[in-house]
Amino acid sequence: MQYPFQHLSLFTQSQLDHYTAARAGEEKLGQKVGIVNTAKEISNATQQGYRFALIGIPESIGPVANHGYAGAEKGWDAFLTYFLNLQSNAFLSGENILLVGHIDCDDLMHAALSDTSHTHQQQLCAQLDQRVHHILLSIFNAGLTPIIIGGGHNNAYPIIKACAESKQQAMAVTNLDPHADFRALEGRHSGNPFRYAHNEGHLERYSVLGLHEQKNSTDALNALKKLQFPFYSMQQIFWRKEITFDECITKTQQYLTGASSPIGIEVDVDAITEMPSSAITRAGISLDDALFYVHQIATLPKVQYFHLAEGAPSRHPTGEQAGKRVVGQTLAELSCAFIKAHR
């Protein structure tokens, strides 16, 4: 049996010191979050007062396998740079946050360069699935609520699978995303994680908010309709104004809680206008709306995880440094919104 933490790189104190810019008279989140010295310590982290677990998946194999662009492997670093330097105060102290580390992807990323065929990329994505599943299953079994920073949206499948197995119940998941990521079962990539999760019995309810009507195939849309998985499109909400964003969130809340299933919250940051990502959009929602979505859904009972996918700093039109600032701040703010709401 594979050791569950074989591919987990734990965060160290020296790394915390590197990322955190200490300032006299102030405390940063990087000075308050916890780390572990051995993976075995994760199993009793809740007994030490930790509730949330930060985990990175620095890869872009899934997006490339889905005919997309690389760059999502740098989202985790961008997140750490900004999140760890936010203030620790009465609004969010950081004391109940465990900074676990990241899932090792370097060997898979290197292998992806040696053979760029989509069949090979899909095979590598399936290998990544196994790593994510093993590690997240242990995190869920430890009673922690993971905040997973990607990486591609392909990782939703092993996250959902791990959570469903841990809770011994199929999931109810909401996804803020212009793409339903419900493409055919044609080999693993970032375009079909929810289809695979449902096909294997791990996903009972699935809702998409912010779907773009012309960025989803007929097959994917028909599959959603056949399964009665609701979706609310950008065109409905913002262009035709047939329904308000607030109403969509309320309907999503009602749908998610209707079956007493464990709940997962997904955000593909390419839902946000001009966000550097694998699929940058001009026709997205605002960051404020994304933050409101996260806050509202995170207040629901039985929320088990928060997954932020596809942030790609190098995709910024003026360069990676500007992209790191935009992506890092966005991922940090969304994570703070989740932690503050998920009491």
pLDDT in tens, 73-118: 999 999 999 999 999 999 999 999 999 999 999 999 999 988 889 8
- Residue-wise pLDDT for 33-80, tens only, equals 999 999 999 999 999 999 999 999 999 999 999 999 999 999 999 999
Tokens representing residue 193 in the block:
């994680």
Cis omega (within 30 of 0) for bond into 68? no
pTM above 0.95? yes
Whether the bond into 151 is cis, omega within 30 of 0:
yes
Q: Where are the domains of the chain?
A: 8-341
CA-based nearest residue to 338, from 152, 69, 148, 164: 148
Q: pLDDT tens for residues 281-317?
A: 989 999 999 999 999 999 999 999 999 999 999 999 9
Structure confidence at residue 343 (pLDDT): 75
How far is the C-alpha of 32 from the C-alpha of 27, rounded, in Å?
Answer: 8
Domain 8-341 has CATH 3.40.800.10: yes
Tokens read off for 164: 């469903």
CA distance 243 to 16: 45
| Residues 337 and 267: beta-carbon distance below 8 Å | no
Closest CA to 242 of 227, 232, 256, 230: 232
Average pLDDT over residues 178-194: 97
200-233 pLDDT tens trace:
999 999 999 999 999 999 999 999 999 999 999 9
